[in-house]
């Protein structure tokens, strides 16, 4: 497969923007097995319940489901296994420091192919309260109504 400059989004965590306020984003590499990358390229993954954890100065992706490769054999992977993230040491230290603050977490936002390699966009997020979620939905509805009226006005 030729390496191009395509940034094809394969999976996106749409629930993250609803449940969290994203403070900052970082691009990370993923350590995947052969059958995992084949499933990722077919966009057979779910980021909804995923989060990042840290142990011994390394970052790991937990709770992300990558479906088993259909043409795989006995060497197929476990769908919910913990996967290592490829980040610089200073990035990992910064993320660990942010997570120690109350209410902050690191969540996966989207997976895409960049120059032939699978990349993960992770975000430092702060949880929203229920009233914040309702307010965001209200603002979104108002903005949509205004756009609809402007479209009909022309």
For the stretch 70-107, pLDDT in tens is 776 766 777 788 989 999 999 999 999 989 888 899 99
- Structural domain includes residue 144: no
Secondary structure of residue 128 in the 3-state scheme:
coil
Rounded to the nearest integer, the mean pLDDT of the chain is 86
**Mean pLDDT for the stretch of residues 27-43:** 87
So what's the pLDDT on residue 2? 52
Contact 110, 121 (CB under 8 A): yes
Domain that holds residue 42: 7-127
Given a cut of 50, whether residue 147 has pLDDT beyond it is: yes
Maximum mean pLDDT: which of 1-5, 23-27, 39-43, 134-138: 23-27
| CATH assignment of the domain containing 39 | 2.40.280.10
Structural contact between residues 124 and 106, judged by C-beta atoms closer than 8 angstroms: yes
pTM for the whole structure: 0.78
Q: Is residue 62 part of a domain?
A: yes
| pLDDT attached to residue 101 | 82
Q: Do the domain assignments include residue 26?
A: yes
């Amino acid at each position: 497969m030729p390496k191009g400059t395509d940034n094809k989004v394969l999976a996106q965590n749409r629930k993250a923007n609803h449940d969290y306020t994203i403070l900052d984003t970082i691009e990370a590499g993923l350590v995947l097995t052969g059958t995992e990358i084949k499933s990722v390229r077919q966009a057979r993954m779910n980021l909804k319940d995923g989060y990042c954890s840290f142990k011994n100065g390394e970052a790991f992706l937990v709770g992300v489901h990558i479906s088993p490769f259909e043409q795989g054999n006995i060497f197929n992977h476990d769908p919910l296994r913990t996967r290592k993230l490829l980040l610089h040491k200073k990035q990992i230290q910064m993320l660990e420091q942010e997570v120690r603050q109350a209410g902050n977490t690191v969540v996966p936002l989207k997976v895409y192919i960049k120059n032939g390699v699978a990349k993960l966009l992770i975000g430092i997020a702060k949880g929203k309260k229920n009233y914040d979620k309702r307010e965001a939905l209200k603002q979104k509805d108002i903005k949509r109504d205004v756009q609809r009226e402007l479209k009909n006005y022309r």
